[in-house]
Amino acid sequence: MYLDCPPQSGRAIDLWIPSEREVQPMTLVFIHGGGWRLGSRGDMHTLMYSFYKKGYPCVSVDYRLKGVSVSEQLADVREGMASASTRLKAQGLHQSFVLYGSSAGGHLALLAGLAPVGICGEQYDGASLDIAGIVASCAPITFEPWDDIFPGSWESMQLAVGKDFATDPECYRLVSPEQYTTVDSPPILFMLGECEHMFPNSLTIKLVERIRAQGGRAEYNIYSSAEHGFFYDIHRRAQGDAFQDMLMFLDRLKLAQIPSETEQSTSVKPVGISAK
Q: What is the pLDDT of residue 215?
A: 96
CA–CA separation, 160 vs 178, rounded Å? 17
Q: What is the pLDDT of residue 9?
A: 86
Q: What is the pLDDT of residue 8?
A: 86
Q: What is the pLDDT of residue 7?
A: 85
Q: What is the pLDDT of residue 270?
A: 41
pTM beyond 0.75, yes or no: yes
Concatenating the DSSP letter of every residue in the chain gives: -BSSSS--TT-BEEEE--SSSPPPSEEEEEE--STTTS--GGGGHHHHHHHHTTT--EEEE----SS--HHHHHHHHHHHHHHHHHHHHHTT---EEEEEEETHHHHHHHHHHHSPTTTTS----S----EEEEEEES--S--S--TT--HHHHHHHHHHH-S-TTT-HHHHHHT-GGGG--TTSPPEEEEEETT--SS-HHHHHHHHHHHHHTT--EEEEEETT--TT--S-SSSHHHHHHHHHHHHHHHHHHHHTSPPTTTSS-PPPPPPPEE-
13-275 adopts what CATH topology? Rossmann fold (3.40.50)
Q: What is the pLDDT of residue 259?
A: 66
Return the ∠ at Cα 206 (arms to 32 and 30), rounded to 5°.
Answer: 15
pLDDT in tens, the chain (276 residues): 888 788 888 999 999 999 877 899 999 999 999 999 999 999 999 999 999 999 999 999 999 999 999 999 999 999 999 999 999 999 999 999 999 999 999 999 999 999 999 999 999 998 889 999 999 999 999 999 999 999 999 999 999 999 999 999 999 999 999 999 999 999 999 999 999 999 999 999 999 999 999 999 999 999 999 999 999 999 999 999 999 999 999 999 999 887 644 444 434 444 334 444
CA–CA separation, 177 vs 143, rounded Å? 8
End-to-end CA distance of the chain: 37
